[in-house]
């Protein structure tokens, strides 16, 4: 079978492993789980909140070499569309541990998250650097773990660069659209963000600033310092609020049916 061709595959429950019966199958998978991960199987249930992990490099137009762990644009965008459309899903938790990546792909994901009608909460764990910043602030509410870091630094042009003033203008334009998105979607001011972005002396080989946990929340970039529990309860509150609004809207369409009767008295006596 040629696996390089995209397609849908199925597997018939470990048939090649010569296991008979569901109990044996469950026991086998539990054993395999302990062997591979050192953990027991977890109980089953259904989730109303979906999770979108943004890990490694954000991959866009160019396929990165396989040693890079990547989050691919073409995986994430359809998933966001599916989440937006599925009525069973009440909210989205975005977990970031990214080193940055493609600007276009990163901003595209950020714009998709921003324009979602369902509640979205982001949680920066480990690191949410470079293009991870717009993705983190795109959510309705953002959290950062106490030990997580965010590197705010300018974009760079590498490779063969034409040494004309227009090159700088282009770079500045690209920089501005990232700054604009971050400022529009968080509590940080343009001046503050620019100052952090072009600060010297803090990064060894680069200009920029590293924000750790509380610092990111203090400057207004991230809403709050917190972890998984806080993020899920925030999502729950937002989903509940949205549901209450929805119920109110559902009553209005029927108003034209019962209001005339109330005013004319038809139906009473």
Partner 1 sequence: MLYSIIPDEEIWAETDEVGIYELYINGCMMQVASMDGKSGVIIRILSTDPQDYLNPKYQPGTSIPFIQD
CB of 125 to partner 1, least distance (A): 15
**Which residues are the active-site residues?**
130, 153
The CA distance from 67 to 23, in Å, is 39
| Residue 49-68 contact track with partner 1, rule CB under 8 A, x = bound | xxxx----x------xxxxx
The DSSP bridge pattern shows strands 209-212 and 149-152 to be: antiparallel
Nearer to partner 1, 27 or 261 (CB): 27
Tokens of 41: 């199987």
Q: Give residue for tokens 């696996």.
A: 3
CB of 41 to partner 1, least distance (A): 5
Nearer to partner 1, 4 or 247 (CB): 4
Grouping H, G, I as helix, E, B as strand and the rest as coil, residue 266 is: coil
CB of 28 to partner 1, least distance (A): 9
Nearer to partner 1, 157 or 259 (CB): 157
Tokens of 153: 């630094």
The count of chain residues that interact with partner 1, using the rule CB under 8 A, is 64
**What residues from 205 to 234 belong to the interface with partner 1 (CB under 8 A)?**
206
For partner 1, the binding residue among 19, 20, 21, 26 (CB under 8 A) is: 26
Tell which residue, 227, 133, 235, has the closest CA to residue 185.
Answer: 133
The string of DSSP codes covering 137-188 is HHSSEEEE-TT-EEEE------SS---SHHHHHHHHHHHHHHHHHHHHHSS-
Q: Give residue for tokens 């030990």.
A: 147
**Interaction between residue 162 and partner 1 (CB under 8 A):** no
CB of 48 to partner 1, least distance (A): 10
CB of 124 to partner 1, least distance (A): 14
The DSSP bridge pattern shows strands 141-144 and 70-72 to be: unpaired
The DSSP call for residue 15 is G
The DSSP call for residue 60 is -
The DSSP call for residue 267 is T
**Interaction between residue 90 and partner 1 (CB under 8 A):** no
**Interaction between residue 42 and partner 1 (CB under 8 A):** yes
Grouping H, G, I as helix, E, B as strand and the rest as coil, residue 34 is: helix
The stretch near partner 1 (CB under 8 A) out of 23-31, 117-125, 188-196, 223-231 is: 23-31
CB of 191 to partner 1, least distance (A): 21
**What residues from 124 to 153 belong to the interface with partner 1 (CB under 8 A)?**
127, 129-131, 151, 153
The stretch near partner 1 (CB under 8 A) out of 97-105, 112-120, 188-196, 257-265 is: 97-105
Tell which residue, 194, 177, 179, has the closest CA to residue 104.
Answer: 177
Query: Sign of torsion, CA 42 46 50 52?
Result: positive
Where on the chain is the footprint of partner 1 (CB under 8 A)? 1-4, 6-16, 26, 29-30, 32-33, 36-37, 41-47, 49-52, 57, 64-68, 75, 79, 82-83, 92, 99-104, 106, 127, 129-131, 151, 153, 155, 157-159, 174, 178, 206
């Amino acid at each position: 079978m040629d696996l390089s061709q995209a397609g849908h595959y199925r597997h018939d429950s470990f048939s090649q492993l010569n296991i008979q019966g569901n109990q044996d199958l469950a026991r086998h998978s539990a054993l395999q789980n302990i062997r591979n991960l050192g953990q027991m199987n977890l109980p089953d249930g259904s989730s109303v909140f979906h999770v979108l992990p943004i890990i490694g490099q954000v991959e866009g137009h160019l396929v990165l070499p396989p040693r890079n762990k990547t989050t691919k644009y073409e995986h994430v965008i359809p998933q966001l569309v599916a989440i937006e459309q599925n009525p069973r899903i009440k909210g989205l938790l975005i977990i970031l541990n990214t080193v940055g990546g493609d600007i276009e792909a990163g901003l595209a994901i950020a714009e998709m998250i921003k324009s979602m009608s369902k509640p979205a909460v982001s949680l920066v764990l480990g690191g949410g650097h470079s293009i991870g910043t717009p993705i983190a602030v795109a959510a309705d509410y953002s959290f950062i773990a106490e030990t997580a870091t965010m590197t705010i630094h300018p974009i760079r042009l590498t490779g063969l660069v034409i040494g004309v003033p227009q090159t700088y203008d282009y770079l500045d334009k690209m920089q501005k659209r990232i700054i604009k998105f971050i400022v529009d979607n968080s509590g940080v001011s343009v001046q503050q963000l620019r100052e952090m972005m072009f600060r010297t002396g803090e990064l060894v080989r680069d200009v920029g600033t590293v924000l750790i946990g509380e610092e990111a929340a203090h400057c207004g970039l991230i809403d709050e310092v917190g972890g998984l529990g806080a993020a899920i309860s925030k999502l729950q509150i937002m989903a509940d609020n949205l549901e209450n609004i929805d119920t109110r809207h559902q009553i209005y369409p029927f108003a034209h049916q019962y209001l005339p009767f109330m005013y004319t008295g038809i139906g009473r006596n």
